[in-house]
Amino acid sequence: MLDHDRAELRMEAVLILTELRAPAARDILNSVVTDPAFDGDEIRQAAVWGLGKVGLQQYGELVPFIGDEDRDVALHAIAGFGPDTPAPVIDTLIGELLSGDPTRSPAASEALRIIGSDLVLARLIAASRGRNASDAWILATLGRLPADRVRGALRGDPLLDRLAPLLVLSDSANWIADDAVDIDLKFLLKQNLSGAG
């Protein structure tokens, strides 16, 4: 079905594979994402999405695609992580965070923020104490996790002082950081800019 001429039937096949959650589906979805014949086709986005939290929950399979050349594929991979992402995948994402790659480091940071589990928090705190303790991406990612949870985990720890400037930017401490307010403000600024010129 994936070699069918009609794009809507190929897409339907990917969606069915996602819903079936059969063991063989992982390999098929991976083959769709990596097949050069589908470059620029939204079927790649659907296949990545199917590997993630709404489908097979094969989070390790998402990691290679967080820096995909197709921005939409990368965004689907990043958004595909769930709070049940296991420790080995979290550790791999932290490795990507520390890679220094200008595409993969921010993507890994966002994926870790989306996962947002206590395990992510603990692993990032541990990474902050390792040889990469001064890595800005570790601090930036910790600063993007829910401020109350970070403060609770780091009560009395000097790391909390280093994170304080980032934590005041969280939506729990800063009403302007709330998603709805941020969207409204960006819309207003675009209106203001278009009216000024």
Note the pLDDT tens digit of each residue in 170-180: 887 889 988 99
Distance CA 11, CA 152 (A): 45
State how far the Cα of 68 lies from the Cα of 18, in Å rounded to an integer: 21
Q: Tell me what the mean pLDDT of segment 71-83 comes to.
A: 97
Cα–Cα–Cα angle for 53, 95, 166, rounded to 5 degrees? 85
pLDDT at position 1 over 50 = no
Q: Pseudo-torsion of CA 103, 104, 106, 109, nearest 10°? A: 170
The length of the chain in residues reads: 197
Q: What is the pLDDT of residues 15-34, one digit of tens each?
A: 888 888 788 899 999 999 99
Predicted confidence (pLDDT) per residue in 152-162, tens digit: 999 999 999 99
Q: What is the DSSP string of 88-114?
A: HHHHHHHHHHTT--TTHHHHHHHHHHH
